[in-house]
Structure 1
Amino acid sequence: MVIYKIFRRPEWDSLRQSGQTLGAPIDLSDGYIHFSTTEQVVATAAKHFADESDLVLVAVDPDKLGAALVWEPARDGALFPHLYAALPISAVVWDTSLPLGAAGHIFPRDMI
């Protein structure tokens, strides 16, 4: 199992340079890093990144995040993974561009 984080390109570049991140502005404001499951990530992209095109989809191994990863109810009562610590680059399994097409973001075929 992996969980997903959608980054704007400069946020992803910063994580790659520094080796860790406390997340995007919304993560900093909320006090934790927001993640989504496979079932949640398409809706997350549509809700929070609808008009943004230079995005990066990052798959993260939740087992590498330890006890700082907490599953909490969020949108529609569904449990979402929230990280109450910095995200280390070592937890990233893979990343890919998340382009914006005419009908929304274009996710890798093998994940949806």
Structure 2
Amino acid sequence: MLIETLVYKILSAPDAARAREYGHTDTDLDARDGYVHLSTERQVGETLALHYAGQSGVHLYEFAAERLGGNVKWEESRGGQLFPHLYAVLRLSDAKRHWALEIDAEGNPVLPEELR
């Protein structure tokens, strides 16, 4: 049995709406940096807290890195951690799972129970 490496893409409400319209992600940050920013299961909570605090309508997509065409590179980023970066188009149809994230009492998006 093949064990898949799960990676996650967080999208703000406007980026999620654009992704649904296009069928793939298209964020300003990814366009500027030249790759799609992804997180591992261990990194996604911190990424969510650092970059999406106070936002509602945030969406989370789960992908198997091995099914993204071999274009995932593991590169050093925040605090020396290796983050998955995709050098290709990230199609929503390739997602294994998707969540529209709930917000907590402070108005911050929270991870789904199965990822906490």
Q: TM-score, normalised by structure 2?
A: 0.86
Written as runs of structure 1 = structure 2, the 5 A alignment for 1:1-112 is: 1-21=5-25, 23-102=26-105, 104-112=108-116
Secondary structure of the corresponding residue to residue 39 of structure 1? helix
Q: What percentage of residue pairs aligned between the two structures are identical? A: 36
Deviates more, 1:95-104 or 1:80-89: 95-104
When the two chains are superposed, the root-mean-square deviation of aligned CA atoms in Å is 1.5
Structure 2, unpaired ranges of 5+: none
How many matched pairs?
111
**Superposition deviation, residue 14 in structure 1:** 2.6
The structure that is strand-richer by fraction is: 1
Deviates more, 1:81-90 or 1:9-18: 9-18
CA distance in structure 1 between the partners assigned to 2:44 and 2:31 by the alignment: 20
The 8 Å contact of residues 62 and 91 in structure 1, kept in 2 or not, is answered as: no
Q: TM-score, normalised by structure 1?
A: 0.88
**Superposition deviation, residue 28 in structure 1:** 0.8
Which amino acid is the alignment partner of residue 95 of structure 1?
Answer: H
Structure 1, unpaired ranges of 5+: none
